[in-house]
Amino acid sequence: MTEKTRGIVLHQIRYSDSGIVVWIYSRKFGRQSLMIKGVRNKKSGNQTALFQPMSVLDLVIYYKESRGMQTVKEFYPAYSPSDIFFNIRKTSVAIFLGEVLATVLREETPNEELYDFLESSVIYFDRCTGDYANFHIAFLSGLGSFLGFEPGRRTDSTCKYFDLVNGSFTAFPPVHGNYADEQISGILAAFFATSYENTNRIALTGAVRNEVLDTLMKYYSIHLPGLKKIRSLEVLKQVFS
């Protein structure tokens, strides 16, 4: 049977001479693998550009719950993030976030709140004309709440260390050793308590921004055992260093 849903592209690979396989996060079905035939041939005008990371698509799919890969019947751009596609700095962020999401979103169970967070984040980032160098930090800071390990906010200024295991701020370094130092903890506390619109007020050097990013990725790896290495991480760090 055919089903309609909206989805956000996470990653794509070639399949056969003219097709691709795309990983998306859909509003109706959660994470799905989709086979799209004929989009890479000359007759179709090579439509693979529509399936770049963070593209938002309206889809009609031949859906069967027991099938590991669904087939797409029709697709239309619901929101085309053109500035992300043509701005190399934004493109590097999109590739990184797409890879992270393809790795951490393992469940096929739909989560409409998570989907809405992802779509609104894409649209905000695409339309952002100011300083967006901290966007990926803010995104990862907010994503954890949908994955079951939302970091707690710092409510006491004497709690100077962020405990990566318990996701909370403590007055003394925890004995297990997985914590952020005072400087990085203070920066994380600011990100955990702010919105996208205000993240540009958190002034960071490239080196410190990368240290914050490494700390967040360690936080993710602790709470998602088996998290694979994110290959695009080093490229992103170079772009915003």
165-215 residue pLDDT tens: 999 999 999 999 999 999 999 999 999 999 999 999 999 999 999 999 999
pLDDT of residue 95: 96
pLDDT of residue 169: 98
pLDDT of residue 145: 95
19-76 residue pLDDT tens: 889 999 999 999 999 988 877 666 655 577 788 999 999 999 999 888 888 988 999 9
**Left if phi > 0, otherwise alpha if psi is -120 to 50, otherwise beta: which for 30?**
left
Q: Which two tokens stand for residue 109?
A: 């169970």
Q: State the Cα–Cα distance between residues 212 and 165, nearest whole angstrom.
A: 16
96-130 residue pLDDT tens: 999 999 999 977 788 999 999 999 999 999 999 98
Whether residue 5 is predicted with pLDDT greater than 60 in this model: the reply is yes
Q: State the Cα–Cα distance between residues 124 and 127, nearest whole angstrom.
A: 5
> Residue 213 in contact with residue 237, Cβ under 8 Å?
yes
Query: CB-side exposure of 221: number of CA atoms within 13 Å?
Result: 11
> Residue 14 in contact with residue 40, Cβ under 8 Å?
yes
- Please name the residue that has the structure tokens 């203070």: 186
CA 216 to chain centre: 13
Q: State the DSSP code for 199.
A: G
Q: Is the dihedral of CA 138, 228, 148, 113 positive or negative?
A: positive
- Please name the residue that has the structure tokens 């002034």: 203
Overall average pLDDT of the 124-147 stretch: 96
Q: State the Cα–Cα distance between residues 210 and 240, nearest whole angstrom.
A: 8
Helix (H, G, I), strand (E, B) or coil at 140: helix
Instruction: Give me the helices (H) in 31-111, please.
Output: 82-86, 88-104
State phi, psi for 34 to the nearest 5 degrees: -120, 135
> Residue 40 in contact with residue 19, Cβ under 8 Å?
yes
pTM of the model: 0.93
